[in-house]
Amino acid sequence: MIPLATRILIASVGGQGGLTLARVLAFASVLSGFSVRTGETLGMAQRYGSVVSYVQIGSRVYTPKFTPGEADYLVGLELVESIRNIHYLKPSGFALVADEYRPPYTLSVENPLSTRDQSLDLIKSLHSKTITIPARKLAVEAGNPRALNIVMLGSLNALANIFSHKTIEEAIKHVLPARVVESSIKAYIKGYEYTQATRRDTFT
């Protein structure tokens, strides 16, 4: 039923792997016997533009779309995009945000002095239940800098606890190319473990 549905908004810059992350979640959902819908707009050179993916998982869901104030989790692969979409969260929802900073053209031109730290402070001031993840560092440690999105998947599952590790591994195996499966699973575990530890420090 709808009230039990988990709503996840993935905010990213086109090309960062937000769509792939949504697809892994969809696959894990089907493997777990959940109903799932994910949705985004793709196809028109959305690379380097703002991209959001809606993900809704539950026993019975009909649409990927939900409205501002309804998301349980915001998974941000980039800071400015996370700030842009923070209003999608419920007051009780969690923001899981990679500390990746890619200011858009207008921000770079109008405020060239702005920094990553300012964005980090801003997002925490906008939503107190925010955990920032050194996702790029963890992805590099896992041996795949491109796996920033999968680090964030680990982070999400550490908080949301929707899927077993085994299910996530299966989903990764079926969605991602064989050559990156091993490093992606490592990236997932890195994100998971980091977030579990941080969560204890931050919210207990």
Partner 1 sequence: MVYTPMSLLAEPGTRLPLMGNEAIARGVLEAGVYVVTGYPGTPSSEVIMTLQEYSRDLDIYVEWSINERVALEVAIGAAISGARAMATMKAPGLNVASDPLLSAAYSGVDGGLVVYVADDPGPHTTQTEQDSRWYGELAKLPLISPSSPQEAKDYVVAGVEWSEALGLPVLLRTTTRVSHTVGDVLLGEVKKPRRGKGFRKNPERFVRAGMDWNLERHRWLNNQLARVEELASKYGFNRVIGGGDLCIVTEGAAFNYVLEVVEEYSLSARVLKLGLLYPFPSKFILDNVRDCREILVVEELDPYIEQHLKIVLYDAGLHIPIRGKTTRHIPLEGELDKSTVLSALGLKQTIQPRTPHKTPRRPPPLCPGCPHRFTFLALKRAISKMGFKLSEVPVIGDIGCYALSVYKPIDMLWTEHSMGASISMAMGLKLAGVDKPVVAVIGDSTLYHAGLQSLIEAVNKSVDLLVVVVDNGVVAMTGHQSTPAWSTSETGRVLKPISLDDLVKAVNPDDFRVVDSYNYDELVGVFEELIDKPGVKVVVSRHPCALLEARLKGVKTRYTVDVELCRGCKACLVVTGCPAIVMEGGRARIIQEDCNGCGLCTRFCPYGAIKQSG
Nearer to partner 1, 33 or 204 (CB): 33
CB of 64 to partner 1, least distance (A): 5
Strand positions, DSSP E, the chain: 6-13, 35-39, 50-58, 71-76, 89-98, 130-133
CB of 113 to partner 1, least distance (A): 5
Q: Which two tokens stand for residue 87?
A: 């209003």
CB of 174 to partner 1, least distance (A): 4
Nearer to partner 1, 33 or 161 (CB): 33
Nearer to partner 1, 71 or 159 (CB): 71
The C-alpha atoms of residue 100 and residue 136 are separated, in whole angstroms, by 7
CB of 169 to partner 1, least distance (A): 13
Nearer to partner 1, 103 or 154 (CB): 103
The C-alpha atoms of residue 152 and residue 75 are separated, in whole angstroms, by 7
Nearer to partner 1, 49 or 143 (CB): 49
CB of 200 to partner 1, least distance (A): 28
Q: Decide: 147 and 134 in contact? Cβ < 8 Å.
A: no
Torsion sign (Cα): 99, 181, 74, 64: positive
